[in-house]
Structure 1
Amino acid sequence: MRHPIAVADEPAAATPVQVDGRLAALGRFCHRRRRWVLGFWLLVLALGVLIGGRVFEGSVTGTSAGGSESARGESVAAASDSARGTVVAVVDGAPVGDPAVRAAVTAATGRIGKLPGVASVTDTYAAGPALTATDGRASLVSVRMADGSTDAQLKAVTRELDSIRAGGVRTTVGGDLVLEREVKDQTAGDTRFGELVTLPLTLIVMVLVFGGLAAAGLPVIGAVASVGGALLAMFGFSKVMDIDTSVLPIATVLGLGLSIDYALLMVNRFREERGRGAGTAQAVERTAATAGRTVGFSGLTVAVALAGLFVFTSPVFRAVAAAGVSVVVISVAAALTLVPALLGFVGHRVKAPTAPVPDEGFFTRTVRRVQRRPVPVVLGCIALLLAAGAPFLGSQWRNSGAAVLPTSSAGRQVTEAVGQRFPQQAPAPVTVVVGADRNTAQAYAEDVVAKLPGVSGIRSVTPVTDRVSTVEVLVHGDPQGGPAKSVVGELRADRGGLTTYVTGDAASVVDFQHEIATRGPWALGLVAAGTLLLLFLMTGSVVVPVKALLMNVLSLGASLGALTLVFQHGYLSGLLGFSPTGGLETFIPVLVFAFAFGLSMDYEVFLLARIKELRDQGHTCSRAVELGLQRSGRIITSAALLMVIVFAGFAAGQMLMVKEMGIALAVAVAVDATLVRCLLVPAAMTLFGEFNWWAPAPLRRLHQRIGLKEHMVLPPIPAALPAHLPAQRTEWETESEVGQGAERAGAVG
């Protein structure tokens, strides 16, 4: 039986033995220079807060497949149009012919036409019935803002439109410029809301885990500092590439989750070292040498998963890759520098555990039950995961447009009102940008476009310049459905001898799907190769990495299936507070795969490294799996719980894209940390037995030369304890950080 250990601030009876290695040296430096390190991170946080709003201001809204025909067509049309964008007001609630309404509208348009930054303004009384609703009780006022107009000028126009109130009408202001502003404001608001919800809940959970506020507060402080660094990094990237607004909360949620998890590992290891009798400085050094290795290896696995996004050409994927990898680096840096510095200030107040976690417990019993029936468990888990992922096979991908905003959004209300009541003004499902004058474009529309199957008519042929025109094409059925996509293909197959670009929402979806189909396998291959290499270097096996890869894919399938059920079919939409759009946002499944894959490999490393170390110590494969899960199960569960809290906090926001990412990642982490790690992995490893560690002879020799070790042997802590207390076990003294996962989470309270 192990007795409690009295821990002084610093042991004075013997001189500590210095730990070798760069990470240990980094820990010593950060502890000695903790005021400078803390000052640096406070500066990072302050700068991040100051420029946080500017990051959202400099972001762009709307996504397109980079370099695709639809993106090029939009660029050609935009370059030919001198306007910055439009502001559209729906004047509703009274007959359009009411003299009072007419007077109010014409007076407002007269004033707006004189405002700076306005290129043109049109109302139904000047333009005719095209701007009148089909029921005659609403009309549109359309304002085109000049290129170079300012936000202040846009706000002045919005105020004038809002002032149209005569005759009992109500005015709702929207348009593409208003939508862009609302998307940025709502995304920034959801990000702040997610942080405000997540951090207090995380703190409460960690107080329960650690049994004290001092230890629990350190990961939260590290997470806040990491977010400041993430904002700085994204602000820098926004100067050299377009950062889509939706990228910002995605990168923020990743940074929060990772930094909390990494700080959790560091603080837990510090507590262990204090429990063994190490002083504050020595415990920091030993923590950096062990937990720091885990943090670095974990960050590398997540970064490899995100790096696969660089294969794609779409700006949104490249922006997420750049922002995501930088956030991983910042989270690792905060864990390796800020947390040791903070421990130098408050480490003496952190409660130390009195004994390691026992080798018998809940996870050991669970593994033994699994090992008695490994075949049914494997087949049952695989069947369950396949069934959960099956709905994704019928998923539909869409550009949601204004539907990403909540129903209370004025911009969304105007867009929906235009689509339902002003069919002539609603965006056409397919638009063809023609490099020709109006007459040539008209002939092309009549002779080629109108005769294609699936085309229900030509709405308009509009000259943009003398050499560029647009043809708006109407299609049968869903504007982004199968018939519309077929029309896109037909238009691209027969261009009538002209230079044309087929654009619109349907074309954009087609281009996204084509990019994913052609570049996705390369991205997947890059991620798979990097993951297999890392796991081989860690384990020396070719079987375990392949098995881990397949299990992660099954886990991700379940997440994507849940995503389809919730956001395409509308299950739980009322509870989650959104209106389903009938499909998934085009780029979300790819981002879910990249993020969830990286996080799943994170937990895979925690478990496999511990099992591998126990096996190397001479345990049988079955016993190594038992002890490995017992000693790492609770840290995986604790880390997963914190991740789910972070993702759920962001899913509680209003932006549909952020909600999709939050729900998908929360499901992925929960499934992976429970069903996969606690049941499927032990059952599969039991079936494979010693074959788990097989590798061809040449690869075994290669691993002996260049293999990575996820643990290091620490020098013993000099005795500085009362004589009646027994010495610590050598095995406990030299255990690896990953292998001690269970003790880190379990030796709490």
Structure 2
Amino acid sequence: MGGFARIGRLIARAPRLVVVLAVIGTLGLYALATVGVNGEGLFQRVSTGPPLVEGSDSWEVYEAFERTADESIGPPVASYVRGVDPEDPDVAVAIGEAAAEIAALDGVNAVLSPWGLVEGPEFDQHALPSTGELGSGADPAWDPLGEYLDTLVDQDGTGLLVQTIFGDLEGADPLPIHEEVVGLVEDAVDGLRSEYPDANVLSSSNPLVFDDFTVQLEEDLITGEMIALPAALIVMVFVFGGFLAAATPLTGAIASIAGGLAVLYGFSYLLDLDQSAVNVVTVLGIGLSIDYGLLIVSRFREELHRIGGDPREARAEAIEHTLATAGRTVFFSAVVVAASVGGMLLFPVEMMKGFGGAALGVVTTAMIASLTIVPAVAYLLAPRIAGPSLLSRVPCLRRVLAATSNVDREDGAFARLAGWGQRRPWLVVIAATALLLVLASPVMGLALRNSDIEALPVGNERRDYADAFAEGFPDLADPAIIVHVPDPDASVEVWAWLDPGLDSVDGVADVSHAYTIGDEQFVDVTIDADDPQGPEARDTVLALRALDAPFEFHVGGVAATQIDFVDAIREGALLAAGLVVIVAFVLLFLMTGSLLVPAKTLVINSLSLLASLGVVTWIFGEGHLEGTLGFTSTGGVETYVAVIIVAFGFGLAMDYEVFLLSRIKEYVDAGEDNDAAVRKGLQRSGRIITSAATVIVLVFLGFALGDLLMIKEVGVGLAVAVVLDASVVRLFLVPATMTLLGDWNWWAPGPLRRLHRRLSLQH
């Protein structure tokens, strides 16, 4: 039976050793991921930031700011005190005392408030906002400083900003001192509540935002695992008829989580990993591990029943045959899924490369765990797995478990369902296709976005600060568009206001000011639109880029970043999709010996994925079910989330297709006619596909209950993809189309048939 049978024989010789090594390896990998080699674990090595494309216009602007950044200046903190009267002397005293305490902290350059500047130990006049060295919201020509301080009162006159500017923190983590600064401002506001009971403060800084993302990701990961794993166990109890058999696939999932996190940790030294990659790829690892574990354990139970007799005597042969059949299917499926997710490595975007590389590693980890740990545990538990469980003694559960966990029958509900579709295949094909097309229709209005702070849940302080700041201090907000001119001698100010120049472009509301930092020149551009990523903003960016200028210039900002990111995704998608299609087609041919089955599979899977994207667009892009799912729509779907849904969704669809086709092909090779093979193959694999889909949907929905928008979108999107694929596609559309094709399902030209016989991946 080949190499997979040999793996089964090796496991049968030393199952306890395999389990012990697996436990040691799992603990070691988990320690590596959480602690790291130098005390810096995975969550400390991931990052968050704009989805930049190296070499693009927006990347050039970002890099210019990075080059000109003064490394002796730490990230600033801003606190928005609301619900007070800035003209009240008591407010001035309270904020002034807090400012003095903050200014006394090590590393502080100065504290700014409407009442003046308080110098700190690292005071440097040139690092203050009024010089234009920090951010682009303040005009460098503003002098004296008092004119800038006047802008620190909000436009309603009911709030004020307290800005803390830092000097050189000498490599120290800025988060603790930022939290201390925030605490001092909050203490001052607490002292004002007797006079202003509604007074409150919102604070933000880059380190505080990053920490919020990190904490939220960890909480969402724990929430997802705490919901997903127990729910999966309950479903598998009914699949296998007992706790021990049900828990066996989870051993692979637990090992896969540890291995997947360790793989992510390794990739963090090779690629810039986005924080959300940890949760997204962990979800995939859990789902695949349970899928593969279900297939292995179910086939093992089937082999034990086929051999009969004492399970202790039969288990060696059963595990060998299980690995030779289901093990080969798991390996083949993992290769197809790896090709699907690994295609993201071809995108010219570092973020997508990180997702692709990490997902590739996690798929490999899930496969290895399913071919080693799960069979070893199943072998040791063979007598308990094969026999009736304690639950079967419960009267109300006995009949249910007998029906859901039966592995002996080649006829049953799934065979009858296939037979029903085979009697009216055209009706099934037309109805299923129409349903998928209707679900896919919202894709026509799909808007892609790259969210930043709005990805945090409503109620998060940093997100609330961003919303409140934009409303209270519109003149201090960062511009929607920034133009960068690398030539320090270029006449930027003349060009900016001439016709045709920046000020003449449709959609430009104001060219606020030009300024120079080091040898780099910048121009802030305000647009005549409320949405900085909307179509009007993107049109303005494209119009600015089309301008002629006597010198080199680059256009950046959130809309420009979105344009460059989407263009890079489109460019990479063609190459990645081409590779995935070729790999999937070749591997399906090697498995089935057919040219029509791979072609049909690719068409049906593509239609299913479009339907999934349509549902995600309807929910998150159009804002339906906001209250039910607990999110606020940003008016679109995260760009990289759409890519992940397509890549992961295609991989999972191929996963279930392999499960189904492998059993159908077994019956065809055994001499069954096409229609009978389809019915029996669906009966044998339908229970596993449905059970695996139920479990993986619970996994995805468990993570969708988290609060981060992108994780919620991924969880819901992949859950929808799996539901559609395991129901509409596998139970109806595939059997019906295979019935219509009949023996043509297995057609290939003579030379390819001979090639298939030599290279066949069948067991």
TM-score when scaled to structure 1? 0.88
Q: Name the SS of the counterpart of 2:188 in structure 1.
A: coil
Are residue 418 (structure 1) and residue 448 (structure 2) matched?
no
Are residue 25 (structure 1) and residue 25 (structure 2) matched?
no
Shift of the 364–339 alpha-carbon distance from structure 1 to 2, 3 Å rule, reads closer
Q: Distance in 2 between matches of 1:30 and 1:175?
A: 54
1:78 to 38, 61, 66: 66
Q: CA deviation at 1:634?
A: 1.1
Number of the residue aligned with 1:143: 164
Q: Distance in 1 between matches of 2:673 and 2:607?
A: 28
Q: Distance in 2 between matches of 1:649 and 1:221?
A: 19
Q: Name the SS of the counterpart of 1:173 in structure 2.
A: strand
Q: Distance in 2 between matches of 1:642 and 1:352?
A: 23
1:662 to 690, 693, 715: 715
Shift of the 204–290 alpha-carbon distance from structure 1 to 2, 3 Å rule, reads same
Are residue 402 (structure 1) and residue 453 (structure 2) matched?
yes
**Counterparts of residues 455-470 of structure 1 (less than 5 Å):** 455-470=508-523
Q: Distance in 2 between matches of 1:640 and 1:396?
A: 29
Q: CA deviation at 1:482?
A: 1.4
1:103 to 82, 93, 96: 93
Deviations 1:597-648 (A, max 9, x none): 0000011111122222222333222222222212211111111111101101
Q: In the alignment, is the contact (CA less than 8 A) between 2:447 and 2:621 conserved in 1?
A: yes
Are residue 42 (structure 1) and residue 14 (structure 2) matched?
no
Q: In the alignment, is the contact (CA less than 8 A) between 2:507 and 2:529 conserved in 1?
A: yes
Shift of the 439–309 alpha-carbon distance from structure 1 to 2, 3 Å rule, reads closer
Deviations 1:126-166 (A, max 9, x none): 33232221101111223344563413333333333333314
Q: CA deviation at 1:327?
A: 0.3
Shift of the 539–439 alpha-carbon distance from structure 1 to 2, 3 Å rule, reads closer
Q: Name the SS of the counterpart of 1:700 in structure 2.
A: helix
Shift of the 42–208 alpha-carbon distance from structure 1 to 2, 3 Å rule, reads same
**Counterparts of residues 369-448 of structure 1 (less than 5 Å):** 369-437=420-488, 440-447=491-498, 448=501
Deviations 1:192-225 (A, max 9, x none): 1100111111111111211111111111222111
2:290 to 260, 277, 292: 260
Q: Distance in 1 between matches of 2:670 and 2:5?
A: 25
Are residue 594 (structure 1) and residue 634 (structure 2) matched?
no
Shift of the 387–117 alpha-carbon distance from structure 1 to 2, 3 Å rule, reads farther
Shift of the 124–464 alpha-carbon distance from structure 1 to 2, 3 Å rule, reads farther
Are residue 351 (structure 1) and residue 386 (structure 2) matched?
yes
Q: In the alignment, is the contact (CA less than 8 A) between 1:434 and 1:471 conserved in 2?
A: no
Shift of the 24–367 alpha-carbon distance from structure 1 to 2, 3 Å rule, reads closer
1:326 to 361, 374, 378: 361
Percent identity between the two aligned chains: 39
Q: Distance in 1 between matches of 2:165 and 2:287?
A: 43
Partner amino acid, structure 2, of 1:271: R
**Counterparts of residues 732-747 of structure 1 (less than 5 Å):** none
Q: CA deviation at 1:495?
A: 5.6
Q: Name the SS of the counterpart of 2:160 in structure 1.
A: strand
Shift of the 298–145 alpha-carbon distance from structure 1 to 2, 3 Å rule, reads farther
Q: Distance in 2 between matches of 1:460 and 1:418?
A: 21
Q: In the alignment, is the contact (CA less than 8 A) between 2:411 and 2:683 conserved in 1?
A: yes
2:611 to 558, 562, 567: 558
Q: In the alignment, is the contact (CA less than 8 A) between 2:294 and 2:688 conserved in 1?
A: no
Q: Name the SS of the counterpart of 2:386 in structure 1.
A: coil
Q: Distance in 1 between matches of 2:380 and 2:659?
A: 29
Q: Distance in 2 between matches of 1:595 and 1:208?
A: 27
1:132 to 153, 157, 171: 153
1:313 to 348, 359, 376: 348
Number of the residue aligned with 1:245: 275
Q: In the alignment, is the contact (CA less than 8 A) between 2:62 and 2:556 conserved in 1?
A: yes
1:628 to 668, 671, 681: 681
Q: In the alignment, is the contact (CA less than 8 A) between 2:612 and 2:720 conserved in 1?
A: yes
Q: Distance in 2 between matches of 1:100 and 1:701?
A: 91
Q: CA deviation at 1:512?
A: 1.6
Q: CA deviation at 1:356?
A: 4.5
CA-atom RMSD in angstroms:
2.1
Deviations 1:348-400 (A, max 9, x none): 32234897433332222222222222222212211111110110110111122
Deviations 1:164-210 (A, max 9, x none): 31433321111333111101110111011100111111111111211
**Counterparts of residues 143-222 of structure 1 (less than 5 Å):** 143-146=164-167, 148-150=171-173, 151-165=175-189, 166-168=191-193, 169-222=199-252
Q: In the alignment, is the contact (CA less than 8 A) between 1:568 and 1:581 conserved in 2?
A: yes
Q: CA deviation at 1:407?
A: 1.1
Partner amino acid, structure 2, of 1:56: F
Unaligned segments of structure 1, at least 5 residues: 1-19, 712-749
Q: Distance in 1 between matches of 2:232 and 2:420?
A: 32
Q: CA deviation at 1:671?
A: 0.4
Q: In the alignment, is the contact (CA less than 8 A) between 2:664 and 2:680 conserved in 1?
A: yes
Shift of the 509–333 alpha-carbon distance from structure 1 to 2, 3 Å rule, reads same
Q: Distance in 1 between matches of 2:258 and 2:605?
A: 31
Number of the residue aligned with 1:10: none
Number of the residue aligned with 2:34: 52
Shift of the 29–171 alpha-carbon distance from structure 1 to 2, 3 Å rule, reads same
Partner amino acid, structure 2, of 1:534: L
Aligned residue pairs total: 691
Greater CA drift, 431-440 or 180-189: 431-440
Q: In the alignment, is the contact (CA less than 8 A) between 1:435 and 1:500 conserved in 2?
A: yes
Unaligned segments of structure 2, at least 5 residues: 36-40, 117-147, 194-198, 389-401
Q: Name the SS of the counterpart of 1:163 in structure 2.
A: helix
